[in-house]
C-alpha cells in the first residue's frame, strides 16, 4: 500500500505538469479526489490494514493527500494567473486614442486677470466696492476735482446719454431736464460714493467696467479698471509706494522693477504714474516699451484735499491715497495680444487659449 | 510739445546726453515720449563740390562729374540732373548711405561708367517739405565747408524731444519753462534772452490806445507798434528752429511771433496796423488806432485767418478796432488784418486771457490753436511784457523797421502774488519722509519760488508762471517731485483694516460662475452696447419693457448706440461670429449688468443696473472625437444647466413652467418661478431668431436675474443623517395619455409614499408601436426607505400597490408589463 500511495503521488504530480486548461485540471482532480478517485479508493482501503500498519500508512496517506492538495491549489492558481495574463494581453488598448475629457469652461482672460488683482488686494485688507456705470457728471468729474471747464476733461472722451430728465447733483430735489448722464470714464466715482456713506478708515478696491469714446488696436470703448482707495488718519505717500510695491511683486514677480513718476490727476496730489520694467525685454528696451525699458501700468497719488471736501471729510484730520489701473493693459502684458479688441469678439478659438 | 536740445541749451547749460535729459525730465513729471535725432536720416550724406563735368560717352542725358568731398581723391559720379553745373555745392550720398526713401547707394556702373555715389535733390533727402525748391539737385550755399556732414551743415545735428505736458503745467509749454525744470534738476543758472530795444521818438500813445471793456475775460492787454518793416523770408536760423519743433514757416513777422510763443509760452499776435480802422474823430491822446477788447455782439461775424466765417455770441471775447472785430481773442487773428507781403507797420499784441472763456469759445467754434491751447490752460500774466519786448526786438532786427517808444499795457486784473504757508512737518507727514526744512527751501528756490522763513514757519511766494500752485499740498508735490519719488521710502500701511460687511452677491456670483465653467461653458464678455434692432431680432413683444433702452448721444456706430437690457442678443451674436468662423461647438455664458430705465435700484438714479447671467448652447456638444462623438444639444441640456444654477444657489422651492416668450420655440421654453417672481427663462431659440442670426442649427438659451437669486439663495446647510437601513428599489412602468406631463405621476408617487419614498427617478419615456396610439409609457425607479427600520418586502409591496392604484385611479395609468 505504501508503494501504491507513492506511485499515486508521483503519477499525479507528473500529470499536473501537463495540465493546460481549467477543465483538464478539474478532471484530473476528479481522477484522484473524486468519489471514485484513486486517492479516495486508497483511503477507503485503509480499513483492511492491520493495526500495526495503520499508523504509518495513515500518516503517509495524509502526507500524500496534503502534498497533492497543495499541488492542485498551486496548479489552480498558476493556471488562473496564466489565464489572467492572457486576458490582460488581449485587452490592451491603443493608448494614443483620444481621452474622453470632461467638458470644462474657462473664465474670460480679462476676468482671470481681474480676479488675480482682486485676490492680491484683498490679502492686504482691501474690500470690493461697486457702483453704477451710468453716472452723474458730479460723481465722475466734479466731486473728483474736475470742474466743467477743467482741461483734464479733454483727456476723457466721454459717452453721454440722451437726456431723459435727470438731476445734476445728488443733493438736488427732483430731476433736471438739462442735466447730463454719462457712462463713467473710470471707476473713481465709486470712491466718492463710498466716502459719502462711510466714515474713515476706508480701504476699498473698485473693480468694474468703464467707458471712453475710443476704438483702435489698443483701446476698446468699454474696458475694465480696478480703482483702490485707502483713507486713514495717517496714510502717507510712502504707504502708497508700499502697497503698490507689494502688488507689483505679487502680480509680476520678484524680479520686476517699479518706478514712480510724477504725473497729474485732478483728484490726487501728489500724483504719480507707475511703471514696471518691461516684461518683454526685462528692461533692456524693445518695441513693446518704446525702447525705454519701462511700461506704464498704474496711476496713483495722495487723495487731493478737494476730494475730501466734496465728501465732508476734514483734510486736516485724514489723509489717503488712491490708485487705478486698466485691467486689459495688465492682462496684455502677459498675453501680448496685438489688437485688444480681440478680447471682446468672444471667438472660442481665442477664449480657449487662456 | 517738441523741444530740441540745442535750443534748450541757449537758455541753460547742462551736461546731459539727450537720453539722460529725457530720463531726468520724465522723472520730474515731463514725460518724454520720443527722442528723434534730426540728422539721423542724413547719415552718410556730405557737402560735395562738383569740380568738372564731362559728357557721358554712352548716354545723352547723363554727365560724368568729378566731385570733391574733402578727401584726397575726388569721386566720379554719374548725374542726370538738369541743373548740375561745375563749381556748384550739392549733397553727395556716399557709398553705403541709406537714403530716407529706402534706396541704398552702392558702387555701380551706369551705362558702362562707374559712379561712386549720388548727387541728391531735396526730395531724395526727404527735405522737400522743409526747404521748398525746384526739381533737380539741391543747391547748397557756397560758404558751406566741403566734406562736412550735411546734417551738421544744415544745422540739423540736433535732437528733438517730444514732451507730454500734463494739463496742470502750461508753464512747461515753452522752452524757457522746460529750461526752468532743468534748473530745478541741475541747479544751473537760467540764461534768459537779453532784450535791448532801440526805440524811436514817436510815443506809442500817439499811435494806438487800448480799452478793455471786459476785464473779467481779459485781465491784461499790452501792445507795441513797429513801423517800416519789410515782410519777407526769415533767416535760416529762425526757420531751422521752428521747423525743428514742427512749426511751419510763414514770414519773418509771423515766424517771430511763433518763435516767442515757443520760447516764452506767450502767444503774440501781429496785426497789419493799416488794416485796423482809422479813428476818424481823434481820441483825446491823439492815437490813430484803437484796440477794444470786448465781448462780441450776439451774431457778430468774424472771418479768421483760416478763412472761416464765424458767427459769434456774447460769451466770446474779441479784439476789435474802432469799428469791428479783428481777432478772436486768444484763439486766432482775423483774416482782414493779417500780415501780408505789403504790410509795413505792425501792431504787436501780447495779452493774458481768462482760461475758461478761451476754452469755452474754442470748444464752441471747434478751434484748437497753439494760442488757445496755452491760454485755456493758463498763460503767465507776468510774461506778457517780456514776451512783447522780445517779439518787438526780433521783428525790428529781422524785418527792419523802428519801434515806437514804449508799450501800451492795460492791466485791470492785476493780482497780488500768491503767498502760501508751508509747514515742513506737514510735508514729511504727507510724504512719509524725513526731509530737512533747508532741503525743502532749496528745492522751492530752484523752482523759482521765493521762501521766507520766520520761526519755523515758511512763507512761500508763488511766481506768476505757476498758476497751478495755490495750496500747501501743491508745494508738497513740488518738493516730492524734485526730491524724487524714488527717494521717498516704501512702507506698509499701519492703519486698522476695516471689517467687511457680509456680501451674499459675491457668493452667488462665484457659485454660478464656477458651476457654469465646470459644466463646460466658456465665459464671454461683451460690450454693454448693442444695436437698437436687437429687440426685433430676438422677437421681443412690442410691449416688453426691455425694449426701452438708454441711448447714447455720441455712439461710435449704430451697432453700439444703446445700452443692453438683456444679454441674449450679445450671446447670439457671439454664436454667429463663431459659426462664421466654422466653430460649431458653442457653449458660452456671460455675467454682466444690464441697463433698465424707470426703476429705482439706487435712489439717486433713474437707471437700474441689475446683474444678469445668460448662456447659449448651440451646434454640437461633446468632444467630437472617437469614443466621445459630437451630439446636438437639446432642450434638456439647457434645462440641466438651469437646474444646476438653482441647485448651487441652494434653491428648492422653485417651479418651472411653460411660458410664451416669442424669443423661444412655442413648445420648448419655460420660466423659473419662485412664488410669483420670475427668476429666469430658458428654452430653444425660435427658428426666426436663428434666421436673424444666420445660425444653421438650433440654439438653446437661458437668462437669469442674478438680483433675484441674490435675494433668495440659501446657503445655510444642516446635516442630514446618512441612511442606516437599506433601500428597497422598485421599477414601475405605466402607460398614460401622451399629454400627461412626466412630473404629474412623479408628484403622485411622492404624495402617496410620503416619507417612505426617498426618490423617484424617471428613466424611460416611450411612445410608439408598443403602446396604443395617443398613449405613452413612463418608467420610474422608486427608492423606498425608512429612517427607523428595515422595510420588509411585505411592507414595500403594500406601499407599491397603493402607488399603482393611485396612479390608475387619478391618471388612468395602466401597468406596462
Ligand atoms: Zn521692452
The ipTM (two decimal places) reads 0.87
Q: Is the pLDDT of residue B361 over 90?
A: yes
Q: So what's the pLDDT on residue A202? A: 94
Q: So what's the pLDDT on residue B295? A: 96
Q: So what's the pLDDT on residue A318? A: 96
C-alpha A277 – ligand 1 centre gap (Å): 8
Q: So what's the pLDDT on residue B275? A: 92
Average pLDDT for B757-784: 93
From first CA to last CA, the distance across chain A in angstroms is: 84
Q: So what's the pLDDT on residue B9? A: 96
Q: So what's the pLDDT on residue B722? A: 87
Q: So what's the pLDDT on residue B597? A: 84
Q: Which residues of A35-72 are buried (b: 16+ CB within 10 A; e: fewer)?
A: eebbbeebbeeeeeeeeeeeeebeeebeebbeebeeeb
Counting every residue, how long is chain A? 354
Q: Which of A181, A230, A271 sits opposite B493 (nearest CB)?
A: A230
Q: Is the pLDDT of residue A248 over 70?
A: yes
Give the mutation candidate from A228, A245, A346 for the B interface (greatest B CB count, under 10 A).
Answer: A346
Question: Which residues does chain B have within 8 Å of residue A167's beta carbon, measured at their own beta carbons?
Answer: 604
pLDDT band at B599 (very low <50, low <70, confident <90, very high): very low
pLDDT band at B775 (very low <50, low <70, confident <90, very high): very high
Q: Is the pLDDT of residue A261 over 90?
A: yes
d(CA B349, CA B332): 12
Cβ-contact B163, B1 below 8 angstroms: yes
Residues with CB under 5 A from ligand 1 (ion): A 278, 280-281, 286, 288-289
d(CA A298, CA A272): 8
Q: So what's the pLDDT on residue A178? A: 46
What's the pLDDT tens digit per position in A18-45? 888 889 999 999 988 888 888 888 888 8
Q: Is the pLDDT of residue B816 over 70?
A: yes
What is the percent of chain B with per-residue pLDDT over 70, rounded to a whole number?
97
Q: Is the pLDDT of residue B130 over 80?
A: no
Greater confidence (B717 vs A314) lies with: A314
The answer to whether residue A123 neighbours chain B at the CB level (below 8 Å) is no
pLDDT band at A169 (very low <50, low <70, confident <90, very high): low
Cβ-contact A176, A167 below 8 angstroms: yes
Q: So what's the pLDDT on residue B602? A: 46
C-alpha B759 – ligand 1 centre gap (Å): 63
What's the pLDDT tens digit per position in A54-68? 888 888 888 988 999
Cross-chain residue pair A243–B595, CB shorter than 8 Å: no
Q: So what's the pLDDT on residue B289? A: 87
Cβ contacts from A onto B, under 8 A: 257
pLDDT band at B603 (very low <50, low <70, confident <90, very high): very low
Q: Is the pLDDT of residue A172 over 80?
A: no
Give the sheet arrangement for strand B418-422, strand by strand. B418-422, B457-462, B450-454
C-alpha B804 – ligand 1 centre gap (Å): 77
Question: Which residues does chain A have within 8 Å of residue B493's beta carbon, measured at their own beta carbons?
Answer: 124, 203, 230, 232, 235, 239, 242-243
Question: Which residues does chain B have within 8 Å of residue A271's beta carbon, measured at their own beta carbons?
Answer: 477
DSSP B82-104: TT--TT-EEEEE-TTPBPTTSPB
Question: Which residues does chain B have within 8 Å of residue A128's beta carbon, measured at their own beta carbons?
Answer: 503, 506
- The set of cell numbers assigned to A31 is 481522477
Greater confidence (B156 vs B541) lies with: B541
Q: So what's the pLDDT on residue A151? A: 67
Cross-chain residue pair A271–B477, CB shorter than 8 Å: yes
pLDDT band at A148 (very low <50, low <70, confident <90, very high): confident
Counting every residue, how long is chain B? 817
Cross-chain residue pair B492–A203, CB shorter than 8 Å: no
C-alpha A289 – ligand 1 centre gap (Å): 4
Task: Indicate the average pLDDT of chain A.
Answer: 90
Q: So what's the pLDDT on residue B504? A: 86
Sort B261 into a burial class: Cβ within 10 Å, 0-12 / 13-18 / 19+: buried
3-state secondary structure of B613: strand
Average pLDDT for A47-51: 82
Q: Which of A136, A220, A245 sits opposite B490 (nearest CB)?
A: A245
Greater confidence (A224 vs B322) lies with: A224
Q: Is the pLDDT of residue B37 over 70?
A: yes
Give the sheet arrangement for strand A222-232, strand by strand. A127-128, A202-211, A222-232, A319-326, A294-303, A268-277, A258-265
Q: Which of B169, B489, B593 sits opposite A133 (nearest CB)?
A: B593
What's the pLDDT tens digit per position in B147-194? 999 888 887 789 999 999 999 999 999 999 999 999 999 999 999 999
C-alpha A278 – ligand 1 centre gap (Å): 4
Percent helix / strand / coil, chain A, rounded to 5: 45, 20, 35
What is the percent of chain A with per-residue pLDDT over 70, rounded to a whole number?
94
Q: Is the pLDDT of residue B68 over 90?
A: yes
Cβ-contact A118, A128 below 8 angstroms: yes
Average pLDDT for B574-593: 97
pLDDT band at A170 (very low <50, low <70, confident <90, very high): low
pLDDT band at B80 (very low <50, low <70, confident <90, very high): confident
Q: So what's the pLDDT on residue B782? A: 95
d(CA B453, CA B434): 19
Q: So what's the pLDDT on residue A283? A: 86
Give the sheet arrangement for strand B522-523, strand by strand. B522-523, B585-593, B611-619, B699-705, B677-685, B664-674, B655-658
Q: Is the pLDDT of residue A152 over 90?
A: no
CA distances from B502 to A127, A128, B188 (A): 11, 11, 59
What is the percent of chain B with per-residue pLDDT over 90, rounded to a whole number?
77
Strand partners, B109: B114
C-alpha A84 – ligand 1 centre gap (Å): 62
Question: Which residues does chain B have within 8 Å of residue A221's beta carbon, measured at their own beta carbons?
Answer: 527, 529, 556, 560
Q: So what's the pLDDT on residue A177? A: 39
Q: So what's the pLDDT on residue B23? A: 94
What's the pLDDT tens digit per position in A262-320? 999 999 999 999 999 998 888 888 888 888 899 999 999 999 999 999 999 999 999 99
Average pLDDT for A239-260: 95
pLDDT band at B16 (very low <50, low <70, confident <90, very high): very high
Q: So what's the pLDDT on residue B42? A: 86
Beta-carbon contacts of B636 under 8 Å, excluding residues fewer than 6 positions away, are none
Average pLDDT for B460-483: 96
Q: So what's the pLDDT on residue B692? A: 97
CA distances from B267 to A108, A282, B9, B383, B384 (A): 51, 44, 22, 10, 9
Number of helices followed by number of strands (H, E) in chain B: 20, 41
- Which candidate, A186, A200, A190, places its Cα nearest to that of A324? A186
> Residue with C-alpha cell 506511485?
A7
What's the pLDDT tens digit per position in B636-692? 999 999 999 999 999 989 999 999 999 999 999 999 999 889 999 999 999 999 999
Q: Is the pLDDT of residue B336 over 70?
A: yes
What's the pLDDT tens digit per position in B418-429? 999 999 999 999
Amino acid at each position: 500500500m505504501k508503494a501504491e500511495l507513492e506511485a499515486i503521488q508521483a503519477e499525479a504530480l507528473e500529470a499536473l505538469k501537463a495540465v493546460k486548461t481549467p477543465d483538464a485540471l478539474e478532471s484530473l482532480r476528479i481522477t484522484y479526489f473524486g468519489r471514485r478517485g484513486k486517492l479516495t479508493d486508497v483511503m477507503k482501503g485503509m480499513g483492511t490494514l492491520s493495526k500495526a500498519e495503520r499508523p504509518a500508512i495513515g500518516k503517509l496517506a495524509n502526507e500524500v493527500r496534503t502534498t497533492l492538495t497543495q499541488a492542485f491549489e498551486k496548479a489552480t492558481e498558476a493556471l488562473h494567473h496564466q489565464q489572467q495574463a492572457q486576458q490582460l494581453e488581449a485587452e490592451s488598448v491603443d493608448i494614443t486614442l483620444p481621452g474622453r475629457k470632461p467638458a470644462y469652461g474657462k473664465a474670460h482672460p480679462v476676468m482671470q486677470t481681474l480676479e488675480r488683482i482682486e485676490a492680491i488686494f484683498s490679502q492686504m485688507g482691501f474690500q470690493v466696492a461697486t457702483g453704477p456705470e451710468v453716472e452723474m457728471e458730479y460723481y465722475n468729474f466734479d466731486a473728483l476735482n474736475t470742474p466743467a471747464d477743467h482741461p483734464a476733461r479733454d483727456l476723457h472722451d466721454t459717452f453721454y446719454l440722451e437726456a431723459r430728465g435727470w438731476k445734476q447733483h445728488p443733493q438736488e430735489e427732483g430731476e433736471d431736464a438739462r442735466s447730463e448722464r454719462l457712462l463713467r470714464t473710470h471707476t473713481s466715482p465709486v470712491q466718492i460714493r463710498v466716502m459719502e456713506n462711510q466714515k474713515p478708515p476706508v480701504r476699498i478696491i473698485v473693480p468694474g467696467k468703464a467707458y471712453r469714446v475710443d476704438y483702435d488696436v489698443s483701446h476698446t470703448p468699454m474696458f475694465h479698471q480696478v480703482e483702490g482707495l485707502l483713507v486713514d488718519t495717517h496714510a502717507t505717500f510712502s504707504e502708497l509706494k508700499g502697497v503698490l510695491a507689494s502688488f507689483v511683486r505679487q502680480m509680476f514677480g520678484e524680479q520686476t522693477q517699479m518706478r514712480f513718476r510724477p504725473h497729474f490727476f485732478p483728484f490726487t496730489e501728489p500724483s504719480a504714474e507707475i511703471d514696471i520694467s518691461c516684461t518683454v525685454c526685462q528692461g533692456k528696451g524693445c518695441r513693446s516699451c518704446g525702447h525705454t525699458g519701462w511700461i506704464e501700468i498704474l496711476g496713483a497719488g495722495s487723495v487731493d484735499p478737494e476730494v475730501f471736501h466734496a465728501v465732508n471729510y476734514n483734510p486736516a484730520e485724514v489723509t489717503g491715497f488712491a490708485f487705478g489701473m486698466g485691467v486689459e493693459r495688465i492682462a496684455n502684458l502677459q498675453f501680448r495680444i496685438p489688437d485688444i479688441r480681440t478680447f471682446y469678439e468672444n471667438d472660442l478659438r481665442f477664449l480657449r487659449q487662456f | 510739445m517738441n523741444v530740441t536740445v540745442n535750443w534748450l541749451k541757449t537758455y541753460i547749460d547742462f551736461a546731459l546726453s539727450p537720453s539722460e535729459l529725457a530720463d531726468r525730465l520724465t522723472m520730474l513729471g515731463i514725460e518724454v515720449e520720443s527722442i528723434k535725432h534730426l540728422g539721423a536720416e542724413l547719415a552718410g550724406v556730405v557737402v560735395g563740390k562738383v569740380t568738372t563735368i564731362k559728357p557721358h560717352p554712352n548716354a545723352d542725358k547723363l554727365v560724368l562729374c568729378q566731385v570733391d568731398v574733402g578727401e584726397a581723391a575726388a569721386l566720379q559720379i554719374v548725374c542726370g540732373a538738369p541743373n548740375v553745373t561745375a563749381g556748384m555745392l550739392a549733397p553727395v550720398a556716399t557709398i553705403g548711405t541709406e537714403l530716407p526713401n529706402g534706396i541704398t547707394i552702392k558702387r555701380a556702373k551706369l551705362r558702362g561708367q562707374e559712379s561712386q555715389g549720388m548727387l541728391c535733390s531735396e526730395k531724395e533727402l526727404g527735405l522737400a517739405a522743409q526747404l521748398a525748391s525746384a526739381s533737380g539737385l539741391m543747391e547748397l550755399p557756397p560758404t558751406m565747408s566741403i566734406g562736412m556732414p550735411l546734417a551738421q551743415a544744415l544745422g540739423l545735428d540736433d535732437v528733438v524731444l517730444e514732451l507730454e505736458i500734463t494739463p496742470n503745467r502750461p508753464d512747461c509749454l515753452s522752452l524757457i519753462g522746460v529750461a526752468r525744470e532743468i534748473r530745478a534738476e541741475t541747479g544751473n543758472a537760467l540764461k534768459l534772452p537779453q532784450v535791448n530795444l532801440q526805440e524811436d521818438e514817436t510815443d506809442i500813445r500817439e499811435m494806438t490806445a487800448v480799452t478793455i471793456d471786459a476785464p473779467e475775460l481779459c485781465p491784461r492787454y499790452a501792445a507795441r507798434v513797429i513801423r517800416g518793416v519789410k515782410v519777407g523770408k526769415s533767416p535760416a536760423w529762425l526757420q531751422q528752429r521752428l521747423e525743428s519743433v514742427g512749426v511751419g514757416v510763414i514770414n519773418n513777422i509771423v515766424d517771430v511771433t511763433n518763435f516767442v510763443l515757443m520760447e516764452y509760452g506767450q502767444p503774440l499776435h501781429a496785426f497789419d496796423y493799416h488794416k485796423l480802422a482809422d479813428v476818424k474823430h481823434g481820441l483825446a491822446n491823439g492815437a490813430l488806432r484803437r484796440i477794444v477788447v470786448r465781448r462780441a455782439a450776439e451774431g457778430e461775424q468774424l472771418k479768421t485767418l483760416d478763412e472761416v466765417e464765424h458767427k459769434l455770441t456774447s460769451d466770446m471775447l474779441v479784439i476789435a478796432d474802432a469799428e469791428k472785430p479783428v481777432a478772436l481773442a486768444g484763439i486766432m487773428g482775423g483774416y482782414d488784418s493779417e500780415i501780408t507781403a505789403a504790410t509795413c507797420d505792425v501792431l504787436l499784441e501780447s495779452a493774458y486771457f481768462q482760461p475758461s472763456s478761451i476754452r469755452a469759445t474754442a470748444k464752441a467754434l471747434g478751434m484748437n490753436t497753439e494760442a488757445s491751447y496755452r491760454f485755456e490752460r493758463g498763460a503767465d500774466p507776468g510774461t506778457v511784457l517780456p514776451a512783447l519786448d522780445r517779439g518787438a526786438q526780433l521783428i525790428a532786427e529781422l524785418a527792419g523797421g523802428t519801434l515806437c517808444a514804449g508799450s501800451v499795457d492795460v492791466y485791470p486784473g492785476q493780482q497780488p502774488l500768491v503767498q502760501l504757508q508751508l509747514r515742513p512737518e506737514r510735508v514729511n507727514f504727507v510724504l512719509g519722509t524725513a526731509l530737512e526744512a533747508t532741503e525743502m527751501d532749496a528745492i522751492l528756490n530752484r523752482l523759482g519760488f521765493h521762501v521766507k522763513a520766520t520761526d519755523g514757519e515758511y512763507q512761500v511766494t508763488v511766481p506768476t508762471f505757476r498758476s497751478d500752485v495755490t495750496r500747501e499740498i501743491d508745494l508738497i508735490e513740488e518738493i516730492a517731485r524734485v526730491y524724487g519719488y524714488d527717494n521717498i521710502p516704501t512702507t506698509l500701511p499701519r492703519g486698522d483694516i476695516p471689517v467687511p460687511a457680509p456680501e451674499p452677491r459675491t457668493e452667488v456670483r462665484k457659485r454660478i460662475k464656477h458651476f457654469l465653467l465646470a459644466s463646460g461653458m466658456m465665459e464671454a464678455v461683451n460690450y454693454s452696447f448693442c444695436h437698437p434692432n436687437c429687440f426685433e431680432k430676438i422677437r421681443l413683444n412690442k410691449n416688453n419693457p426691455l425694449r426701452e433702452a438708454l441711448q447714447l448721444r455720441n455712439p461710435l456706430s449704430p451697432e453700439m448706440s444703446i445700452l443692453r437690457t438683456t444679454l441674449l442678443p450679445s450671446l447670439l451674436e457671439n454664436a454667429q461670429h463663431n459659426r462664421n468662423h466654422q466653430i460649431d461647438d458653442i457653449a458660452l455664458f456671460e455675467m454682466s449688468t444690464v441697463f433698465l430705465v424707470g426703476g429705482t435700484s439706487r435712489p439717486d438714479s433713474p437707471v437700474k443696473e441689475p446683474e444678469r447671467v445668460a448662456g447659449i448652447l448651440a451646434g454640437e456638444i461633446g468632444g467630437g472625437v472617437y469614443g466621445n462623438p459630437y451630439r446636438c444639444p437639446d432642450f434638456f441640456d439647457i434645462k440641466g444647466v438651469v437646474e444646476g444654477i438653482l441647485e448651487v444657489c441652494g434653491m428648492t422651492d422653485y417651479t418651472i413652467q411653460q411660458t410664451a416668450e416669442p424669443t423661444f420655440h412655442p413648445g420648448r421654453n419655460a420660466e423659473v418661478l419662485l412664488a410669483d417672481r420670475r427668476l429666469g427663462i430658458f428654452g430653444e431659440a425660435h427658428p426666426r431668431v436663428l434666421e436673424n442670426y444666420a445660425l444653421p442649427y438650433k440654439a438653446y438659451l437661458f437668462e437669469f436675474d442674478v438680483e433675484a437669486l441674490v435675494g433668495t439663495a440659501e446657503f445655510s446647510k444642516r446635516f442630514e443623517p446618512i441612511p442606516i437601513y437599506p433601500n428597497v428599489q422598485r421599477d414601475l412602468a405605466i402607460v398614460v395619455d401622451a399629454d400627461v406631463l412626466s412630473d404629474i405621476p412623479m408628484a403622485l408617487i411622492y404624495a402617496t409614499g410620503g416619507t417612505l419614498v426617498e426618490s423617484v427617478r424617471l428613466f424611460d419615456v416611450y411612445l410608439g408601436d408598443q403602446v396604443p396610439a395617443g398613449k405613452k409609457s413612463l418608467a420610474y425607479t422608486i427608492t423606498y426607505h425608512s429612517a427607523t427600520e428595515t422595510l420588509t418586502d411585505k411592507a414595500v409591496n403594500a406601499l407599491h400597490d397603493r402607488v399603482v392604484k393611485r396612479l390608475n385611479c387619478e391618471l388612468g395609468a395602466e401597468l406596462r408589463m
